[in-house]
């Protein structure tokens, strides 16, 4: 089974080193390939134990110092030779108290354990150790910020994918080409967040007076050039069954909030950019009138778009047609 990075946090209180050692032993029972383990005990002023493989020595060094412990760590290795074939690392940590940005409890990290195998070990943790009960909802109201939002999508993508000759590998090929194309177009001044939305992309820049103009230019240039870039994708020999014809784009600016959970952004500029993208035809880019620092050398037209639920909305309309069209 495919392996992936696994990270977990378990709100468990009042573990001693012997409890931590027991959890480590349970991990090794389920994952016998991790034969080697090295323990570290981090105190608030210095290391109490550093990379010690023998539990008896750890226990001796800990005597009378339990109240100074900030963190227990156990690093598991599949081989003592770090550069040998099949080398893998997993790590368990336990923090008796919360400090800085670290939460109290047990945490796990691995880059070489299959999810199905890890599930067996996790069952041991849930069954044998009581978790801290917290019935209060976890609420984050978000950090207010100034954003520039760009939304791009492929016109008629769902209808195109319903054709009988279009199967999922072909669709994935189109989407990967679209995502790579969009990412490359934004690399001159990368956004804080790029989110793939099925047949679309949302890009968010957190802006300040010092970099608004740069973000606006990069977003607008990318949106205006996407029609040409998409034409190159459609002409590629990879896509013999064709591709949807057009790309739409909408841009808006204003105040929103950054949500650390999921690294997401919420706010009216994002909603409007999405509505403008949905309303504009494939040979246009709609830009909200609130967007500042628009390049004066790029021709634009005043236009009134109709978007739900806002109704009539004043925008700048930019053409993506070549000048000789």
Distances (CA, A) of 82 to 25, 40, 65, 89: 22, 18, 32, 9
Mean pLDDT for the stretch of residues 214-225: 95
What value does the mean pLDDT of the chain take? 89
Name the pLDDT band for 323 (thresholds 50, 70, 90): low
* Burial of 259 (C-beta count, 10 Å sphere; 0-12/13-18/19+): middle
CA distance 13 to 253: 46
CA angle, 275 then 279 then 280, to 5°: 120
**Whole-number pLDDT of residue 1:** 42
The lowest-confidence range among 84-88, 92-96, 298-302 is 84-88
CATH superfamily of 143-319: Nucleotide cyclase, GGDEF domain (3.30.70.1230)
Could you read off the pLDDT of 247-292 as tens digits, one per residue? 899 999 999 999 988 889 999 999 999 999 999 988 899 999 999 9
Helices and strands: H and E segment counts in the chain: 7, 14
Secondary-structure percent of the chain, ordered helix, strand, coil, rounded to 5: 30, 35, 35
> Which tens digits make up the pLDDT trace of 22-75?
999 999 999 888 888 999 999 998 999 999 999 999 999 999 898 899 999 999
The per-residue pLDDT for range 202-216, each reduced to its tens digit, is: 999 999 999 999 999
CA distance 150 to 93: 41
Domain residue ranges in the chain: 3-128, 143-319
> What pTM, to 2 d.p., does this model score?
0.71
In whole angstroms, give the CA distance from residue 316 to residue 312: 13
């Amino acid at each position: 089974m495919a392996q992936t990075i696994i990270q977990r946090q378990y709100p468990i209180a009042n573990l001693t080193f012997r409890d931590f050692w027991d959890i480590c032993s349970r991990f090794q029972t389920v994952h016998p390939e991790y034969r080697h383990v090295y323990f570290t005990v981090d105190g608030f002023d210095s290391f109490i134990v550093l990379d010690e493989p023998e539990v008896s020595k750890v226990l001796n060094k800990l005597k009378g110092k339990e109240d100074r412990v900030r963190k227990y760590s156990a690093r598991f290795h599949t081989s003592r030779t770090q550069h040998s074939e099949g080398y893998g690392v997993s790590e368990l940590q336990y923090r008796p108290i919360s400090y800085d940005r670290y939460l109290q409890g047990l945490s796990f990290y691995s880059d070489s354990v299959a999810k199905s195998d890890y599930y067996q070990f996790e069952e041991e943790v849930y069954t044998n150790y009581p978790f801290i009960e917290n019935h209060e909802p976890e609420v984050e109201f978000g950090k207010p910020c100034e954003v520039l939002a760009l939304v791009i999508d492929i016109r008629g993508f769902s209808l195109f994918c319903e054709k009988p000759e279009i199967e999922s590998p072909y669709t994935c090929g189109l989407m990967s080409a679209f995502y790579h194309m969009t990412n490359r177009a934004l690399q001159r001044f990368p956004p804080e967040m790029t989110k793939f939305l099925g047949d679309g992309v949302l890009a968010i820049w957190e802006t300040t007076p010092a970099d608004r103009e740069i973000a606006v230019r990069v977003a607008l240039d990318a949106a205006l050039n996407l029609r040409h870039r998409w034409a190159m994708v459609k002409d590629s020999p990879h896509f013999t069954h064709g591709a949807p014809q057009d790309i739409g784009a909408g841009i808006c600016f204003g105040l929103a909030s950054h949500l650390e959970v999921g690294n997401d952004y919420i706010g009216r500029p994002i909603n409007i950019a999405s509505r403008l993208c949905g309303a504009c035809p494939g040979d246009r880019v709609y830009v909200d009138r609130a967007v500042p620092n628009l390049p004066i050398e790029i021709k634009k037209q005043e236009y009134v778009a109709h978007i739900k639920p806002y109704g009539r909305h004043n925008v700048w309309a930019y053409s993506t047609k070549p000048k000789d069209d």
